Copies of this chain bind each other. A is one copy, B any other.
């Protein structure tokens, strides 16, 4: 059970967008250099995020991306769900007899509820939580409020 890199990068992208919200639209190229991710890889990552409705985009020169919701409406759980493909557990047994169905349904039910509990906790961390912390720290350490 691991936090795939796509989630880490995805979070960085969204966080970057959140912190540069005031600029309006932001270019992938800028994020790429700021976050030190290859532009091409980043372009791939932003796509599912966009399809999930977390950002909107505009093509052409002066185009770019922006958050589709306010940072406190975007949660860690949402980001993780985009990349961790929802997985239905296979049957424990490989036969088709009736008696294994009971086991399988017990396991599946527990699994589903466990996943729900997992995501519930992750719903509680928003981009706002993360970026507020960031700008605050920046302010404290440098005396400059760079990202506003």
Within 8 A of B (CB), among A85-124: 87, 89-95, 98-100, 102-103, 106-107, 110-111, 113-115, 117-122, 124
Q: In the complex, what distance in Å separates the CA atom of A15 from the CA atom of B104?
A: 12
Contact present for A125 and B107 (CB under 8 Å): yes
Q: Which listed segment binds B: A38-46, A60-68, A132-140?
A: A132-140
Asked if A72 is an interface residue, CB under 8 A from chain B, the answer is: no
Contact of A87 among B3, B87, B113, B124 (CB under 8 A): B3
Residues of B within 8 A of A76 (CB): 107, 110
Asked if A33 is an interface residue, CB under 8 A from chain B, the answer is: no
Dominant SS among interface residues on chain A? helix
Q: In the complex, what distance in Å separates the CA atom of A99 from the CA atom of B146?
A: 12
Contact present for A133 and B87 (CB under 8 Å): no
Contact present for B107 and A114 (CB under 8 Å): no
Contact present for B84 and A134 (CB under 8 Å): no
Contact of A137 among B93, B102, B113, B133 (CB under 8 A): B102
Show 20 A/B contacts (Cβ-Cβ < 8 Å), sorted by A: A1-B84, A1-B87, A1-B115, A2-B87, A8-B90, A8-B91, A11-B107, A15-B103, A99-B141, A102-B137, A103-B133, A106-B133, A107-B130, A110-B121, A110-B125, A114-B117, A114-B120, A117-B117, A117-B118, A117-B120
